[in-house]
Structure 1
Amino acid sequence: MNTRAGGPENPPPRVNERDRDTAVTRLQEAYAEGRISHQVMDRRLHQVLTATTHSELVQALASLPGENADTISTIAAVSGRIRRRGAWRVPRILKVESALGRVHLDLSRAVIEHPVIDIEMRLGTGRASITVPRDAIVDIEHLHTGWKDTFYKPRRRSHPGGPTIRISGTMGMGRLRIRHAWR
């Protein structure tokens, strides 16, 4: 299910201070580790401090040296909870594995540096919920559910420039709920 629309009456969401602070910290870390020069840091800091949309922030952080664009991370638990929220860095490919527990991924304030994020779900029983950024495009075409259907209502008006979140994998008896953040 892929949705894409937009219009001048619904502009992209504005960058908030938390997002801006996270981007500044990333640039400072890259400079401190010697991965970018002083001139590059100055130029990109200016981009971050003047950015008004998330896509402008992503451009300022794009292709930082020393980063692997195809990073893969796995979050796994037999039971219990898997929870990610706040300003966490989302890898290009995220694998989520849980036999019995609940999963909650909140990408609304996460640092998303890739235009496309693949989330591969391998869940037995238990519920899962994913909150995506307001301007995200969600694709659940390759997600297979066993017991319950996925609950996802696409936004009527999507904002251009957001990341594409592709969710695939299998879910046994649990339900996946996907929603867009309000801001």
Structure 2
Amino acid sequence: MDLEARASDQDREATVSRLQQAFTDGRLAADEMEQRVERALTAVSHGDLAALVADLPERPGEVVTVTTKAGKILRTGQWRVPRTLRIESVYGNPHLDLSEAVIEHAEVTFDLNLKYGSAEILLPPGATADTNGVHCEWGSVVSDVPGAPRPGMPHVRVIGEVGYGKVRVRYRGARRRRWFTRGGGS
């Protein structure tokens, strides 16, 4: 995360929510929570927000890691989306369908570390995804959705390393593009 980047309203709201949860958990006194919330609402950069929660531990379930060598990674239906989902796979092909998922965070991160697999991410209508953080060695990244966050809509950041596969982000129900181009003879 670029700490110098300007914070959005969504970023500020996510930090306020985390501070309120820390108060509920007994990690912050009421006056300290109020002071931090006030600073969060007027924060200018990601660095300003990060400083407000730097001493707070990650909550259980905020970071989930799924590891498989060659197994199928499938998330569909009403599954709970963690703040960060790390997927580490050698030959797996993750399929993450968020169209009916329970998304409690304004922004979620999918950290993909795929050696030979390809990932497909299906979003609910209106959601957005930033795929600029994905590095592909021999594959490609295709996003058919807007990359900039929209107020009140889920935003997915896709980051990580993909060796010999592809990453595709689209809305559920949108027509699939072909992953390859057929060669023609004369």
Shorter-chain TM range is 0.5 to 0.7
- State the distance in 1 between where 2:168 and 2:122 align: 8
Match of 1:124 in 2: 115
Does the C-alpha gap of structure 1 residues 127 and 167 become closer, same or farther in structure 2, counting only changes over 3 Å? Answer: same
Aligned partner of 1:174 in structure 2 is 165
> Which segments of 5 or more consecutive residues in structure 1 lack a partner in the other structure?
1-34, 36-66
Q: Which runs of 5+ in 2 are unaligned?
A: 1-24, 26-57, 175-186
Partner of 1:153: 144
Cα offsets for 1:91-125 (capped at 9, x unmatched)? 00110111011111111110000001011000000
Question: How far is 1:181 from its partner?
Answer: 2.5
Return the letter of the residue paired with 2:134.
Answer: L
Which letter maps to 1:149?
S
Measure the CA separation in 1 of the matches of 2:130 and 2:61.
19
2:126 maps to: 135
Contact 2:72 2:92 in 1 (8 A): yes
- Does the CA-based 8 Å contact 1:151-1:178 persist in structure 2? yes
For 1:95, the aligned partner's letter is R
Return the letter of the residue paired with 1:96.
Answer: I
Alignment of 1:1-183 (within 5 A): 68=59, 71-155=62-146, 160-182=151-173
The amino acid of 2:154's aligned partner reads P
Give the aligned partner of residue 17 of structure 1. none
8 A Cα contact 1:135 1:161, kept in partner: no
The answer on whether the counterparts of 2:127 and 2:150 sit within 8 Å (CA) in structure 1 is yes
Q: Which runs of 4+ in 1 moved over 4 A?
A: none
How far off is 1:69 after superposition?
A: 7.9
Q: CA RMSD in A?
A: 2.7
The verdict on how the C-alpha distance between 1:82 and 1:99 changes in structure 2, with shifts beyond 3 A counting, is same
Deviation of the 1:160 alpha carbon: 4.2
Give yes or no for contact 1:69–1:92 (8 Å, CA) kept in 2.
Answer: no
Instruction: Tell me if the contact between 2:129 and 2:146 (Cα under 8 Å) persists in the aligned partners.
Output: no
Larger Rg: 2
- Using the alignment, how far apart are the partners of 1:70 and 1:89 within structure 2? 9
Instruction: Percent identity, please.
Output: 37
Q: What secondary structure is seen at the aligned counterpart in 2 of 1:81?
A: coil
CA distance in 1, matches of 2:123, 2:60: 20
- Partners of 1:102 and 1:167 in 2: how far apart? 15
Query: For this pair of structures, how many residues does the alignment match?
Result: 118
